[in-house]
Structure 1
């Protein structure tokens, strides 16, 4: 409970301290996103490889944060870092505007993983110190735009599991105040895979 309260307080601070983001042009972003389509889909729905995230419907603030940090080297990814390196602030804002304006396609969760996934997402694991995912991402996975907490609903399970494991082992460390690292470090592989599958089925 104390951890849940602390996370809620940090979320509030993030909203208060959040920087204003200049609105981009979705029409300009559509043109610029042509190079992104091979992995993320023309409309931001990644269907070729489940390890590549769907960007459709993602909060513009979160897309801006991730692309800016990939551009600056604060987040590192062997595929995305070189793609983000040449982007200008305007490019990033336009891409964020385009992808956030699209609709993410719904997916299904693995029925065998729903029970555990739902338990972790909505209630966490009090015995091991895993907080409920919905504390930051909402009961339906809608996320929190001002706090730059991503929308998760319908995200590819393989991608979500990969990111949780990266937070757990510290290879991804661009989470505010270490919030995701602090959560994932207590999660087992089974819990990660189950909650990732449950998230994929949210809509």
Structure 2
């Protein structure tokens, strides 16, 4: 029963109200404000390398929250940096002096763009038994059904079956994102290095029991999900 209730709550995550994500941006105004971001994230939010995430089509509330969190960490001083916002050292100084409206406009611009699919690869991963298994099959199983044995919830409960996410709930689109980036973020949540998933710790709790093989497999599978654009 404990497992069922917990994962029902995660699956109904669309009903959770996340504070500070009621973005109302102007994408036309945002087009000018994101010019400096193009070097890393591409002119239309489709970054040229997996080191930097694709921002196109991730959803305005989610993007606005991430920008706010990154700005808060960048503005924090001393020990406060360890517990404030979201630590993205590559973004240091990029959001200095920007207003909430600026961030909303930037989020609106990226949300209005079409994400280009990264794609998935045929590969094998080695699980705890020493056996090598098909990564796409394992990734699909984790994404759609989770792993009840390890108390890992299904990703599709919040991010939708095709990976399109849930914009009103600020759950981002995942389908088509760089697998390498998804893998890095899951590892960061699992290690407690990324903590801006709210007091419910939804991502940290979801990732804490994922193995390295499961993370690689589900990230690879997500890269090939087509959310319909």
Q: Distance in 2 between matches of 1:22 and 1:190?
A: 36
What residue number does 2:131 align with?
none
- Residue 83 of structure 1 aligns to a residue in which SS? coil
Moved more, 115-124 or 84-93: 84-93
* Residue 156, structure 1, aligned to residue 159, structure 2: no
1:21 deviates by 2.5
- CA shift digits 1:25-82 (9 cap, x unpaired): 21111111111000100010012x2121001111000000000111112111111243
Task: Identify if the C-alpha distance between structure 1 residues 22 and 159 changes in structure 2 by more than 3 Å, giving closer, same or farther.
Answer: closer
- Residue 172 of structure 2 aligns to a residue in which SS? coil
Aligned counterpart in structure 2 of residue 181 of structure 1, from 204, 222, 225: 204
What residue number does 2:168 align with?
146
What residue number does 2:37 align with?
36
Q: Is the helix fraction higher in 1 or 2?
A: 1
Q: Distance in 1 between matches of 2:145 and 2:171?
A: 18
1:111 deviates by 1.9
With normalisation by structure 2, the TM-score equals 0.83
Q: Distance in 1 between matches of 2:194 and 2:96?
A: 18
Task: Identify if the C-alpha distance between structure 1 residues 57 and 2 changes in structure 2 by more than 3 Å, giving closer, same or farther.
Answer: same
What residue number does 1:60 align with?
60
Aligned partners of 1:18 and 1:146 also within 8 Å: no
| Structure-to-structure mapping, 1:1-203, within 5 angstroms | 1-14=4-17, 21-47=22-48, 49-73=49-73, 74-112=85-123, 113-176=135-198, 177-203=200-226
Root-mean-square deviation (Å): 1.5
Task: Identify if the C-alpha distance between structure 1 residues 20 and 99 changes in structure 2 by more than 3 Å, giving closer, same or farther.
Answer: closer
Aligned partners of 2:13 and 2:157 also within 8 Å: no
1:11 deviates by 3.7
Ranges in structure 1 where 5+ consecutive residues have no aligned partner: none
1:87 deviates by 2.0
- CA shift digits 1:168-198 (9 cap, x unpaired): 0001000021010001110011111111111
1:6 deviates by 2.3
Aligned partners of 2:47 and 2:54 also within 8 Å: yes
How many pairs are equivalent? 200
Aligned partners of 2:21 and 2:65 also within 8 Å: no
